[in-house]
């Protein structure tokens, strides 16, 4: 299909095929129904280079304009600590017989992605194709009608088909391969398709030539359904690798060496960035390492904060010594306020906190969308001032070709911005009003990223020992309200990421019971998409006869669409059964 589409009689034409309807699941997968039954298999990449570019996207490069980005492994500012899990995973990928999929599990900030990149680097040195799959590079427009949506979804579906074709071609193009799926719990349907693809490939002495390494925060029902309920469960290694903090088991000398490497790397980066440090400060910075390390990120955040406090001539409070990520957030807000003041649009501490929250929650694709996002908190600002602020945010937090800005650093930092915003509100009601102002939308695509970040931050608050219970309660309340009142924007992400936690809100939103939702009633196609989610994602409650499934499906059955798929109407991307939607 081409990347363009035009409406014809209530349908859309995409190249030589007529798209009857298009729906999207919560993990970004797409269901396309063709009125003419057309389906074209995507071509395989011509070379290994082409396959790797399609599968992994551009090589990640950490911008160094902001100290937050110094915490990413791409920055390479300090030596990476070797873990025993690294050799174990390399050995499994290379020689482990019988299994094609394995899971590494750990809370946010523990170093899962860094470990996976180290494993991939070792395998690439042996001639393998290895890397983290790029499953997020198909961006949908935040505005536009059905035609724009259909065009975007068609591109997304076509790209995923091409990626699967590249996976199938890897034995011919490169021989052995390890493909990493980060945040696997929100890519469940794609994991199933990847597993089906790699297990249909030939093996080498009973060892699959292409293997999958999943990274996730926890196991839960999604893992049980995959590792036990999947038709290909016998290809899955049931043993889960649980990753502890990098400092666990270290002696005093080894821990001191890791701390000195971290502070030394950040100190050199500060000097290269033109930050002024007093003579002799290096000795103070490298001493007095934290007595308690909750996570790997906690250790490096404490080292970075020590350097930044020294630059500013500040003495870290006891609270920031125990919670260095909070200290980093406050430093970032001070820096943002200074940058905006220098640009002629001065802001205070509170406004900087709100703007930083918008950067974390939204990824506007262009300036018009950025201005609409800023209007959420800048209701009285002049258009010229608003444009200046949008440009400043783009300079401070540059995005990629699909977004004007992007939250810097590890996800844990963005989560903590929302934690502090929730915890520092004066009441539960004030927190809920604030998050509604920042997040509310009835646009499926605009809400998708925002909802994912909000629900991810809630999960982090629940799992982190340093997070306040108040933040968890308030984030949960805000998410519940948004699911009920803005179903289009939030229910798909809730189904995808936290179906058990938000079961009642999802049911109420979908069936329009026990709610006074302001959003218009969902269209039939949207209900069908939610039913596909209920059928393919981990069930909201166990069992095919559960209330979550039957209530949602009865709501859709009462308005069965005329375009419902039937025999002879194949769906793009599905290879097992031409009459079943791809999810």
Separation of CA 19 from chain center = 29
In this structure, the answer to whether residues 163 and 305 fall within a common structural domain is no
Query: Using CA atoms, how far apart are residues 301 and 296, in angstroms rounded to an integer?
Result: 9
Separation of CA 396 from chain center = 21
In this structure, the answer to whether residues 105 and 236 fall within a common structural domain is yes
In this structure, the answer to whether residues 70 and 159 fall within a common structural domain is yes
- Of 364, 561, 548, 448, residue with least CA distance to 30: 448
Does residue 81 form part of some domain? Answer: yes
- Of 421, 387, 390, residue with least CA distance to 403: 390
Task: Output the pLDDT for position 66.
Answer: 77
In this structure, the answer to whether residues 87 and 229 fall within a common structural domain is yes
Query: Using CA atoms, how far apart are residues 265 and 258, in angstroms rounded to an integer?
Result: 11
Check if the beta carbon of residue 214 is closer than 8 Å to that of residue 103. Answer: yes
- Taking 50 as the pLDDT cut, the residues of the chain under it are 1-38, 138-147, 149, 318-319, 513-515, 517, 519-520, 532-583
3-state SS assignment for residue 137 = coil
In this structure, the answer to whether residues 199 and 264 fall within a common structural domain is no
- Among 301, 317, 333, the domain-final residue is 317
CB atoms within 10 A of CB 544: 8
Query: Using CA atoms, how far apart are residues 105 and 102, in angstroms rounded to an integer?
Result: 10
The angle subtended at Cα 361 by Cα 108 and Cα 61, nearest 5°, is 65
| pLDDT 10s digits, 11-22 | 444 444 444 444
Task: Output the pLDDT for position 526.
Answer: 62
In this structure, the answer to whether residues 215 and 263 fall within a common structural domain is no
In this structure, the answer to whether residues 140 and 265 fall within a common structural domain is no
Does residue 564 form part of some domain? Answer: no
Task: Output the pLDDT for position 4.
Answer: 39
Check if the beta carbon of residue 456 is closer than 8 Å to that of residue 415. Answer: yes
DSSP assignment of 520-549 equals PPPPHHHHHHHHHHHHHSPPSSSSTT-HHH
Does residue 131 form part of some domain? Answer: yes
Query: Using CA atoms, how far apart are residues 273 and 345, in angstroms rounded to an integer?
Result: 24
3-state SS assignment for residue 88 = helix
Query: Using CA atoms, how far apart are residues 583 and 319, in angstroms rounded to an integer?
Result: 46
Query: Using CA atoms, how far apart are residues 487 and 528, in angstroms rounded to an integer?
Result: 14
| pLDDT 10s digits, 121-178 | 999 999 999 999 988 654 444 444 444 545 555 566 678 889 999 999 999 999 999 9
Does residue 164 form part of some domain? Answer: yes
The count of domains in the chain is 2
Check if the beta carbon of residue 129 is closer than 8 Å to that of residue 52. Answer: yes
CB atoms within 10 A of CB 219: 15
Query: Using CA atoms, how far apart are residues 116 and 102, in angstroms rounded to an integer?
Result: 12
- Among 242, 264, 286, the domain-final residue is 242
Does residue 6 form part of some domain? Answer: no
Does residue 74 form part of some domain? Answer: yes
Does residue 401 form part of some domain? Answer: no
For the question of whether the overall pTM of this predicted structure is more than 0.85, the answer is no
In this structure, the answer to whether residues 197 and 276 fall within a common structural domain is no
In this structure, the answer to whether residues 114 and 223 fall within a common structural domain is yes
For the chain, report the end-to-end CA distance as a whole number of angstroms: 19
Task: Output the pLDDT for position 570.
Answer: 29
Query: Using CA atoms, how far apart are residues 42 and 159, in angstroms rounded to an integer?
Result: 9
Query: Using CA atoms, how far apart are residues 390 and 160, in angstroms rounded to an integer?
Result: 32
In this structure, the answer to whether residues 231 and 312 fall within a common structural domain is no
Rg over alpha carbons for the chain, rounded to the nearest Å, is: 24
Query: Using CA atoms, how far apart are residues 352 and 337, in angstroms rounded to an integer?
Result: 6
Q: What range does the domain containing 260 cover?
A: 252-317
Task: Output the pLDDT for position 465.
Answer: 55
Both tokens of 430, joined, read 């004030």
CB atoms within 10 A of CB 56: 20
Q: What is the CATH number of the domain that holds 156?
A: 3.40.50.300
Does residue 300 form part of some domain? Answer: yes
- CA-based torsion, 171, 173, 174, 177: positive or negative: negative
In this structure, the answer to whether residues 97 and 220 fall within a common structural domain is yes
- Among 242, 261, 277, the domain-final residue is 242
In this structure, the answer to whether residues 120 and 93 fall within a common structural domain is yes
Cβ neighbourhood burial of 249 (10 Å; 0-12, 13-18, 19+): exposed
Angle between helices 411-423 and 324-342 (to 10 degrees): 90
């Amino acid at each position: 299909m081409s990347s363009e589409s035009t409406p014809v009689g209530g349908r859309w034409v995409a190249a030589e095929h007529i798209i009857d309807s298009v729906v999207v699941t919560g993990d970004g997968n797409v269901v396309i129904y063709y009125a003419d039954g057309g389906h074209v298999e995507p071509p395989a990449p011509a070379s290994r280079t082409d396959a790797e570019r399609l599968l992994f996207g551009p090589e990640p490069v950490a911008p160094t304009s902001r100290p937050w980005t110094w915490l990413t492994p791409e920055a390479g500012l300090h030596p990476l600590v070797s873990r025993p899990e690294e050799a174990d995973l390399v050995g499994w990928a290379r020689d482990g017989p019988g299994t094609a999929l394995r899971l590494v599990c750990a809370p946010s900030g523990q170093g899962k992605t860094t470990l996976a990149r180290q494993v991939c680097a070792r395998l690439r040195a042996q001639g393998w194709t290895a890397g983290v799959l790029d499953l997020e590079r198909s961006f949908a427009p935040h505005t536009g009608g059905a035609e724009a949506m259909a065009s975007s979804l068609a591109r997304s579906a076509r790209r995923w088909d091409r990626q699967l074709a590249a996976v199938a071609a890897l034995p011919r193009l490169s021989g052995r391969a390890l493909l990493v799926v980060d945040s696997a719990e929100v890519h469940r349907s794609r994991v199933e398709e990847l597993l089906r693809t790699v297990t249909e490939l030939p093996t080498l002495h009973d060892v699959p030539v292409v293997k999958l390494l999943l990274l996730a925060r926890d196991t839960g029902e999604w893992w049980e359904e995959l590792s036990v309920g999947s038709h290909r469960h016998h290809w899955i290694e049931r043993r889960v690798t649980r990753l502890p903090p990098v400092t666990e088991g270290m002696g005093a000398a080894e821990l001191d060496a890791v701390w000195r490497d971290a502070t030394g790397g950040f100190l050199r980066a500060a000097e290269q960035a033109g930050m002024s440090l007093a003579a002799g400060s290096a000795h103070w910075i490298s001493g007095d390492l934290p007595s308690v390390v909750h996570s790997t990120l906690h250790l490096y955040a404490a080292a970075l904060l020590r350097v930044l406090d020294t630059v500013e001539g500040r003495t870290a409070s006891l609270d920031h010594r125990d919670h260095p990520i909070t200290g980093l957030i406050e430093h970032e807000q001070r820096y943002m306020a200074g940058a905006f003041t220098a640009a002629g649009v001065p802001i205070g501490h509170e406004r900087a906190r709100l703007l930083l929250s918008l950067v974390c929650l939204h990824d506007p694709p262009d300036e018009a969308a950025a201005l609409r996002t800023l209007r959420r908190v800048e209701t009285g600002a002049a258009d010229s001032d608003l444009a200046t602020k949008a440009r400043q945010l783009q300079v401070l937090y540059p995005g990629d070709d699909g977004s004007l800005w992007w939250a810097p650093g590890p996800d844990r930092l963005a989560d903590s911005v929302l934690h502090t915003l929730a915890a520092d509100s004066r009441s539960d009601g004030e927190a809920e009003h604030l998050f509604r102002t920042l997040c509310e939308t009835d646009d499926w695509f605009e809400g998708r990223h925002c909802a994912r970040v909000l629900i991810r931050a809630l999960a982090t608050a629940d799992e982190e020992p340093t997070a306040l219970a108040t933040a968890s309660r308030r984030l949960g309340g805000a998410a519940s309200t948004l699911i009920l009142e803005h179903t289009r924007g939030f229910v798909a992400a809730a189904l995808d990421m936290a179906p058990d936690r938000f079961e009642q809100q999802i049911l109420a939103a979908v069936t329009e019971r026990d709610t006074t939702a302001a959003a218009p009633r969902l269209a039939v196609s949207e209900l069908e998409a939610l039913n596909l989610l209920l059928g393919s994602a981990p069930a909201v409650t166990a069992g095919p006869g559960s209330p979550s499934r039957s209530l949602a499906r009865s709501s859709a059955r009462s308005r069965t669409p005329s375009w419902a798929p039937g025999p002879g109407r194949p769906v793009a991307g599905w290879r097992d059964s031409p009459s079943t939607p791809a999810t």
